Amino acid sequence: MTERYRVIIVGAGPAGIFAALELTRAGVDGVLLLEKGPDLPERQRLGRGGSMLAGWGGAGAYSDGKLALSTEIGGFMDRYCTPGQLTELVEYVDQTYRTVGAPAGLHGSDTEAVAHLQRQAARFDMKLIPSRYRHLGTEGCEELLGKLRAHLSGVVAVRCGTPVAEVIPGSGNGVGGVRLEDGTAIAAEYVILAPGREGSAWLAREAERLALHTTINPVDIGVRVEVPASVLEEITRATYEAKIIYYTRRFEDMVRTFCMCPHGEVIREDLGGLYTVNGHSYAHRKTANTNFALLVSKTFTEPFREPIAYGQHIARLANMLGGEVIVQRLGDLRQGRRSTPGRIGRGLVEPTLREATPGDLSLVLPYRYLADILEMLEALDRLVPGVNSVHTLLYGVEVKFYSLQLQLGPGLETEIPHLFAVGDGAGVSRGLVQASASGVLAARSIAACVKGAGS
């Protein structure tokens, strides 16, 4: 291996970017950041033939751009930090985003209004998790990521369009570097794996090859719900995004709201030829609708080991029947009939994803998932009347591909010394802030080792 670096970071999503930022702030030199997808200017939001999740900024580049400033939302970092440490990390990440242009305004700061909604939710057997949010908007995400890219340019070595094939073990029991898909081997003292949602399957394979212990994260599968913005106005005005958790009476499964997009759009995600659904809101452009995901979380037991493949299978069923994304009126679903263009057109909710194919989600979603979603809509309607309307639109499917979670130490170091794993792809986080925080934590661990070694 002719090339040598102090630290190699695999993946240029929020976790990888913040790891690189923190290493430079700590004075650690010799950092190489590798990203399999294109650089930010070359990324295409709706381009076909490539994944929307790959490239500079990862999945966050085209996200709704919500920074959840709560330690209870967005991941599992509380497994690796004390409450005080995690609070400090969240505040530190927030301040970093502020320095590159995140807005000063905060949503969810009206504690009295939020407390009222919490009491109302509790009456109907639901838990509303409060949080403060900064909303960048999907266009704001790209702008901030561009600023971070410019800041790192010339400070760390960045190579986009450079997929990594495998981690190379060291001569002892540590890490030696990485091997690229073109066969090039690059040496490093430390490696941070930050492959994001796009690379979660790759990381699962690497974990098996390297004999790293893992646990299975829940499989999150569901639909995206679209209603008139006025239906959710009380909640979105108070919280911007309501994180509501409900345990179904029939199966005791957890169903949760996720990624609420006030006055937003439903979008199709191209995951390299596999199409799923998501949502976003612009900072300066509004629609008449609000959308959010309803996700059923299931943790499977042995011998199940493939949460990603399971989610992909469900998504492919929707693609098979609908071409890409299926949309269905809730009233049609309850009556056991598919939606047609005419029925969608007669509804009171105009779909914001016009490319979606009217169809029947009951032919896609397993019975248990469908029953959970319908029960959650009934429960939610008691808190927010109008959500369970016959005119409500359901898009499917929405799947969150979370990897097997690696066994990690307090500094996010794997069982292989000097090999770290961070972000969504490692099962550590589920959002921009905690993904960024995980990168910071791993970088601080490496910086402490470098200083301790006296170099």
The tens digit of pLDDT for each residue in 226-250 reads 999 999 999 999 998 889 999 999 9
Residue-wise pLDDT for 295-348, tens only, equals 998 877 777 777 778 888 999 999 999 989 999 999 999 999 999 999 999 999
> Pick from 358, 376, 400: which residue ends a domain?
400
pLDDT of residue 311: 86
pLDDT at 46 over 50: no
In sequence order, the β-bridge partners of residue 199 are: none
Phi-psi region of 263 (alpha: psi -120 to 50; beta: other; left: phi over 0): left
What pLDDT is recorded for position 455?
52
Asked if residues 131 and 68 have their Cβ atoms less than 8 Å apart, the reply is: yes
Question: Residue 7 falls within a domain, yes or no?
Answer: yes
pLDDT, greater one: 404 or 224 = 224
Residue 117 falls inside a structural domain:
no
* CATH number of the domain to which 75 belongs: 3.50.50.60
Place of tokens 């495998």: 166
Inside any domain, residue 305: yes
- Whether residue 353 is predicted with pLDDT greater than 80 in this model: the reply is yes
Same domain, 340 and 300: yes
Domain's final residue, options 364, 385, 400: 400
Provide CB contacts within 8 A for 171, sequence distance 6+.
none
Last residue of a domain, one of 400, 416, 438: 400
Any idea of the CA torsion for 77, 83, 85, 89, to the nearest 10 degrees? 60
C-alpha to C-alpha distance for 73 and 65, rounded to whole angstroms: 15
Q: Are residues 195 and 224 in the same domain?
A: no
The label of the residue with tokens 């002719």 reads 2
Beta strands in 29-72 (DSSP E): 31-34, 66-68
408 and 325 both lie in a single domain: no
- DSSP state letter for 79: G
Residue 422 in this model has a pLDDT that exceeds 90:
yes
**Residues 328 and 362 both lie in one domain:** yes
Nearest to 203 by CA among 351, 308, 327, 288: 308
Q: Is residue 192 part of a domain?
A: yes
Listed residue (404, 440, 445) closest to 212, CA to CA: 404
Torsions phi, psi for 189 (to 5 deg)? -80, -35
- Same domain, yes or no, for 146 and 292? no
Query: Same structural domain for residues 248 and 374?
Result: yes
Question: Among 58-62, 121-125, 281-285, where is mean pLDDT lowest?
Answer: 58-62
In a domain, 236, yes or no: yes
CA distance 455 to 452: 8
pLDDT at 75 over 50: yes
Per the structure, the complete domain to which residue 203 belongs is given by: 3-107+132-213+404-452
Strands (E), 248-374: 254-261, 265-270, 275-280, 289-298, 326-329, 357-358
Alpha carbon distance, N-terminus to C-terminus of the chain: 22
On whether residue 127 sits in a domain, the answer given is no
All residues at 6 or more sequence positions from 107 whose CB lies less than 8 Å from its CB, including other chains: 132, 133, 134, 135, 239, 240, 241
Q: Dig out the tokens for 161 from the structure.
A: 């369009």
| One domain for residues 413 and 369 | no
Instruction: Tell me: do 78 and 19 sit in the same domain.
Output: yes
Q: What is the distance between the alpha carbons of residues 120 and 314, in angstroms, rounded to a whole number?
A: 34
Provide the sign of the torsion angle of the four alpha carbons 416, 420, 425, 431, taken in this order.
positive
Query: Are 252 and 393 within one domain?
Result: yes
On the question of pLDDT at 371 being above 90, the answer is: yes
Count of domains in the chain?
2
Q: Which amino acid is at 361?
A: L
290 Rama class: left (phi>0) / alpha (psi -120 to 50) / beta? beta
Q: Tell me the two tokens of residue 141.
A: 């995400």
pLDDT band, residue 47 (cuts 50/70/90): very low
Distance between CA atoms of 295 and 258, rounded to whole angstroms? 7
User: Is 120 part of a structural domain of the chain?
Assistant: no
pLDDT at 48: 44
Each as own residue / partner, the long-range contacts of residues 245-248 (CB below 8 Å, 24 or more positions apart, any chain) are 245/126, 245/127, 245/129, 246/125, 246/126, 246/127, 246/376, 246/379, 246/380, 247/125, 248/371, 248/372, 248/375, 248/376
10 Å CB burial of residue 173 (0-12, 13-18, 19+) is exposed
**What pLDDT shows up at residue 2?**
78
Asked if residue 248 belongs to a domain, the reply is yes
Could you tell me where the DSSP H helices lie in 240-329?
307-322
DSSP tag of 404: P
How far CA 357 is from CA of 319, 327, 338, 361, 394, in Å, comes to 10, 6, 11, 11, 11
pLDDT-derived band at 356 (thresholds 50, 70, 90) equals very high
Q: Tell whether 177 and 226 lie within a shared domain.
A: no
Are 206 and 246 found together in one domain? no
pLDDT above 80 (res 50):
no
**Residues 339, 206 share a domain:** no
